[in-house]
């Protein structure tokens, strides 16, 4: 069976990658693995700007809004993990709606590219489909640099989605 790894950060590019991975999975009877890597510098405002944030449960939306207005700065690890779980849950639900079998991998911490490459080896994925840009507002995004590193070092097919 073909296996596809889809690293997600909630950005529009990563959600487009999920959509393409689902199309590939349908066509090639593949299984999708979903991965979220905890970044240590995500801001509440960055998360709230994501299209997917509208799908978060109301309690999480309220917490993020409160942090964005009262105490701007990077999210706590706990809140960041909650965001990651919501993103993975929404992604798995989207894949399920189109009949694609998914598995959510444990949330990883540390360097995104290294974690993506490790997840590829762990799952035996034949393909990595990931967004070319991530959540950050800067011109150098976390997934932009991560995707470059993954594509340079992965020993499988890699698809970059913009």
Q: What is the pLDDT of residue 134?
A: 60
Please, which residues have CB within 8 angstroms of residue 146's CB and are 6 or more apart in sequence? 7, 111, 112, 113, 116, 130, 134
User: Number of folded domains in the chain?
Assistant: 1
Q: What is the pLDDT of residue 119?
A: 98
Q: What is the pLDDT of residue 44?
A: 93
Q: Does any domain span residue 67? A: no
Q: Does any domain span residue 59? A: no
CATH, residue 20: 3.40.50.620
Q: Does any domain span residue 25? A: yes
Taking CA atoms, 73 is separated from 27, 28, 102, in Å, by 43, 43, 33
Q: Does any domain span residue 51? A: no
- pTM of the prediction? 0.91
Q: Does any domain span residue 156? A: yes
Domain that holds residue 38: 3-42+78-161
CA atoms within 13 A on the CB side of 30: 26
Q: Does any domain span residue 86? A: yes
Residue 52 · residue 13 · CB < 8 Å: no
Q: Does any domain span residue 37? A: yes
Q: Does any domain span residue 54? A: no
The secondary structure of 130-146 as a DSSP string is EESS-S-SSSS-HHHHH
The secondary structure of 27-60 as a DSSP string is HHT-EEEEE-EE-S--BHHHHHTSGGGGGS-HHH
Backbone angles phi, psi at 43, to 5 degrees: -100, 150
For each of the chain's 162 residues, which pLDDT tens digit applies?
Answer: 899 999 999 999 999 999 999 999 999 999 999 999 998 788 999 999 999 999 999 999 999 999 999 988 889 999 999 999 999 999 999 999 999 999 999 999 999 999 999 999 999 999 999 998 765 544 334 445 888 999 999 999 999 998
Q: What is the pLDDT of residue 138?
A: 40
């Amino acid at each position: 069976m073909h296996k596809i790894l889809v690293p997600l950060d909630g950005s529009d590019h990563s959600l487009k990658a999920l959509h393409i991975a689902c199309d590939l999975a349908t066509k090639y009877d593949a299984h999708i693995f979903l991965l979220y890597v905890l970044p240590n510098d995500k801001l509440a405002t960055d998360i709230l700007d994501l299209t997917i944030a509208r799908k978060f449960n109301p309690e999480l939306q309220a917490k993020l809004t409160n942090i964005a207005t009262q105490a701007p700065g990077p999210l706590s690890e706990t809140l960041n993990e909650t965001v990651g779980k919501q993103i993975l849950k929404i992604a798995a639900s989207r894949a399920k709606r189109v009949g694609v079998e998914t598995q959510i991998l444990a949330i990883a911490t540390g360097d995104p590219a290294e974690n993506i490459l490790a997840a590829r080896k762990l799952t035996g994925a034949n393909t990595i489909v990931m967004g070319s840009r991530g959540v950050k507002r800067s011109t150098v995004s976390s997934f932009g640099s991560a995707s470059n590193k993954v594509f340079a070092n992965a020993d499988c097919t890699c698809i970059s989605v913009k």
